[in-house]
Amino acid sequence: MRTNSSKIEFFVPLMTVLSDFSAILLSYYLAYEIRFHTSIGNYFEVTKGIPPFSGYLFIAVITLPVWFMVFQSFKMYRLNRNVFVFDELFLVTKCVTIGILLSMGIVFFYRDFPYSRLVFILLWFFTILFSMIGRYFMLKIEKTLYNKNIGVKNIAVVGTSEMALKIYDKFTRDKFAGFNVVGYFHKADVTDNQLEGKRYLGTYEDIPKKIKSLQLEKILFALPSSDHDDIYDLMQKCEGINIEFMLAPDFIETITSKLRMEEVDGIPFLKLKSLPMNIWNRFLKRSFDILVSGFILLIISPIMLLLTLLVKITSPGPVFYRQERVGLDGTKFMMLKFRSMRTDAEKSGPQMAKENDDRYSPIGLFLRKYSLDELPQFINVLKGDMSIVGPRPEREFFINQMKDSIKNYLERHRVKCGVTGWAQVNGLRGDNTSMQTRIDYDIYYIENWSLAFDIKIIFKTFREMFFSKEAF
């Protein structure tokens, strides 16, 4: 069956391959020209004369299949690659480095041709640059096609659970997923719509014929464990029909860790919970925290001096606000902030900041809006109380209020708390956002940690500082 997405599944990856090939060939040419025909190349002596470009072109062409296999092995040609630019740069750099090394290995067999090492160094740089540019434009093309409903996959949701609603809304909202949610199926015929505002397609008995009439390519099951026998029955009824079945188990919601398959002595296990970081990752994160926080404190010291004077001049009382917070493994520490409220702001007891709060000092709202009150926390990072990136620390008073009512709340204490976090850069702060949603974002960060993820959050933090309207 020819599907709605068939053309884009062929066209976009093919164009990306051609873009990479063009980047490689252009990089060879520029590297050659710079090395042998510019003033830059004159700094490096040419001992065996200037070789013809045809020799480099020959190597470039015969190694193109090698480059393709390298990029393909890292899944760089699949669709829906909605990744952060730093992650993409890291993968492209890795692929290009491997491609260069393999190309140099092939060159070894052609010793009669005087290849220049500088050419390969320049080739490495230009290939990364042009490959990233090409991928940027291909990503724009892919997003444009999806936004115009071209090449999307028609999918349907089976079930009416909370997970089913989440899946329906997620893929309806996120166009870059490449899905067009046609509607949902329910076990029994419904007179009133079980998923409010969603299109009801019929019962399970209708699925085989609806697959063909609606040109469905995926069926997403979001059923309770008690209904899993129905999935087996449906798979039997759909034998011989080109359709993908995917299952979102209902128990996933109760699990904090991302699931991993692990084999122990030949027996497969599904790992439901694991340690967030091993010892080497903890060492890497701590080293990164020390280097970056030290550098940032050095750079922002004039700003901190200015803010110190402004806080002191505009509001009587101490410059810094010291407050006990709970961090890694429930350890308590004194967190530093520039004071943004009056000294009697909590005379009636602990209160969370809220919109239009009248407790702010004259400069306090400005400090909060641009997160400038958080700058002293880099001192906490340097001391080891906090990390640059992590779940935001909270007071014990509020933790005791929320730990029983918010699912997985205490899981956020499995890592050091941070100056910024995944929830915050996604606009989740203040009393107008769901605390459960914030915790879900914190757990996602913990279970998907990488140094690249930290850097991504840091870049997004700078954007939020200047463009967010959520701070108060």
Q: What does the pLDDT look like over 84-100, one tens digit per residue? A: 677 788 889 999 999 99
Lowest mean pLDDT among 297-301, 356-360, 451-455: 356-360
263 pLDDT higher than 70: no
Residue 267 burial (CB count, 10 A): 7
Specify burial of residue 146 (Cβ count, 10 A radius: 0-12, 13-18, 19+): buried
Give me the sign of the Cα torsion angle 264, 269, 275, 278. Answer: positive
CA separation for the pair 304, 310 (Å, rounded): 10
Decide: 222 and 245 in contact? Cβ < 8 Å: no
Decide: 364 and 341 in contact? Cβ < 8 Å: yes
Among candidate residues 431, 451, 436, the one with its CA nearest the CA of residue 389: 451
Q: Which residue has the higher pLDDT, 379 or 87?
A: 379
This prediction has a pTM of 0.58
Domains in the chain, CATH or no CATH each: 6-147 (no CATH), 153-254 (3.40.50.720), 279-467 (no CATH)
Specify burial of residue 263 (Cβ count, 10 A radius: 0-12, 13-18, 19+): exposed
DSSP, residue by residue, 383-399? HTS-EEESSPPB-HHHH
First vs last C-alpha separation in the chain: 54
Decide: 15 and 138 in contact? Cβ < 8 Å: yes
CA separation for the pair 203, 183 (Å, rounded): 12
Placement of tokens 């459960």 in the chain: 436
Give residue 280's identity as a one-letter amino acid code: W
401 pLDDT higher than 90: no
Placement of tokens 């980047």 in the chain: 23
Contacts of 360 (CB under 8 A, 6+ apart): 340, 341, 342, 368
Placement of tokens 């760089």 in the chain: 76
Contacts of 158 (CB under 8 A, 6+ apart): 164, 184, 185, 204, 207, 219, 220, 221, 222, 223, 234
Contacts of 101 (CB under 8 A, 6+ apart): none
Give me the sign of the Cα torsion angle 87, 89, 91, 97. Answer: negative
For residue 10 the two structure tokens come to 């062929």
Average pLDDT in the chain: 83
Q: What is the pLDDT of residues 174-233, one digit of tens each?
A: 777 788 999 999 887 665 556 777 898 988 889 999 998 999 999 998 887 777 788 888
Q: What is the pLDDT of residues 1-59, one digit of tens each?
A: 555 566 777 888 999 999 999 999 999 999 999 988 877 756 666 666 677 888 889 98
Q: How far is CA 224 from CA 290, 326, 414, in A?
A: 46, 36, 29
Q: How many residues does the chain have?
A: 472
Among candidate residues 87, 49, 65, the one with its CA nearest the CA of residue 451: 87
Q: What is the pLDDT of residues 320-364, one digit of tens each?
A: 888 899 999 889 999 999 888 876 666 666 666 656 666 777 787
User: At 181, which helix (H) or strand (E)?
Assistant: strand 179-185
Among candidate residues 330, 378, 323, the one with its CA nearest the CA of residue 351: 323
CA separation for the pair 455, 296 (Å, rounded): 14
CA separation for the pair 217, 153 (Å, rounded): 6
Placement of tokens 């009133």 in the chain: 192
Q: What is the pLDDT of residues 21-35, one digit of tens each?
A: 999 999 999 999 998
At residue 156, the 3 state secondary structure works out as strand
